[in-house]
Amino acid sequence: MLQDIRVHARLDDIDPAQWDALDPSGYPFLRHAFLSALEHTGCVGPGSGWQACHLAAYADGRLCAALPLYRKAHSLGEFVFDFAWADAYDRLGLSYYPKLVNAIPFTPAGGPRALPTTAEAAELHLGLLRAAIRLMERDGLSSFHCLFPEEAQARRWSRESGMLLRRACQFRWHNAGFAHFDDHLATFSAEKRKKIRRERRRVAETGLSLETWAGREMTPRRWQAIYPLLADTFHRHGHRPYLNQAFFEEVGRTMGDQMHLFVALDGATPVGAALTFSDSQTLYGRYWGVNGQWDCLHFELCYHLGIEHCIAHGLAAYDPGTQGEHKLPRGFLPTLSWSLHWIADPRLRAAIGDFVEQEALWVDRYAAQMARHSPLKSSTP
């Protein structure tokens, strides 16, 4: 049983080496450098609606387990949508915010949500989970949520704690041991294969040059050219960017080997870019942006080049982010994602539980429908 559990309002209060040693997989979004950069650059913290309250457990003075936690004043930047739940609280004269969230801010990528990330740490995780629920109850918060955990962790936490298990559908690519991009295309039906080749040919006909830049190669001048492209995607949808340039510059310095940018240049000028992170198994697509109208450039930067990168580096999967049925014709197949929810009010817990059960039926039907529209040959497993 965990005894010495502390709440930290800053990740810098926890030793980076001890934190990272608990994740031998190198999952990028649990790295101390990633989470602390969010705090250093003001992306989370005062005024952001994300207030860190990380749980850390110690044995003999050394970190032995941890759970990144945030007190949330809104539901923005989570990508597991609970605005209707907040509205239900409001209609009953209750406050849904603040709530407690175990998540990677602004990052809808599945993965471990507690340290250590080894299978043997399951009991430690449950101890942290119970401590988080106690913290929620102590502070009178409406709810506790865990967003985008791995399936095994989600099911165990739900079974052991009674948290509501919610599912959604994303699209991911899986490497079947391909040696070349053409091997990947060989699994497609003839019609779909021709479409991909036509997309790539149209990009080639623009005359743009395509390059891959590692985070360690990014200079302030390069970020000054790239960041406005990434930010413009948010502006076009009427949103303020969640992450600022200072965050990307810091993470590029500290996690340069895990950051990759696929860049399109018109001469020497970047006109499009897609930013990704990786660990030893998976490439994670995160942000993209473009200046001008370039036929099929989105598909090239965000999907085809990422698949080529996975094949070249022996990565098993490519997680390009949330939503997007347009990913399906490019070889990204429907995959369930998960979240967990502890609702304090018993009336709303029952109502939300009913909703989650009905929603699961719809999600399963949707995923099955999308699978029937797979571009892969019917003989492909």
Helices 220-236 and 245-254, packing angle to 10 deg: 130
Of 53, 54, 60, 52, the closest CA to residue 3 belongs to 60
Q: Residue ranges of the alpha helices (H) in 274-322? A: 297-299, 305-313
Query: Per residue in 264-311, pLDDT tens?
Result: 999 999 999 999 999 999 999 999 999 999 999 999 999 999 999 999
Read off the pLDDT band of 236 (50, 70, 90).
Answer: confident
**Is residue 15 predicted with pLDDT exceeding 90?**
yes
Percent helix / strand / coil, the chain, rounded to 5:
45, 25, 30
Helices 151-161 and 122-138, packing angle to 10 deg: 60
Phi, psi of 210 (to 5 degrees): -115, 130
Domains of the chain as residue ranges with CATH: 4-169+335-372 (3.40.630.30), 176-315 (3.40.630.30)
Q: Which residues neighbour 217 within 8 Å (Cβ) at sequence distance 6 or greater?
A: 256
pLDDT, position 240: 87
The mean predicted confidence, pLDDT, of the chain is: 95
Query: Per residue in 138-176, pLDDT tens?
Result: 999 999 999 999 999 999 999 999 999 999 999 999 999
Of 249, 256, 301, the closest CA to residue 43 belongs to 249
Of 66, 55, 77, 79, the closest CA to residue 31 belongs to 66
Q: What is the mean pLDDT of residues 39-63?
A: 97
Instruction: Kindly calculate the radius of gyration of the chain based on its CA atoms and give it in whole angstroms.
Output: 21
Amino acid at 81: F
Query: Per residue in 337-364, pLDDT tens?
Result: 999 999 999 999 999 999 999 999 999 9
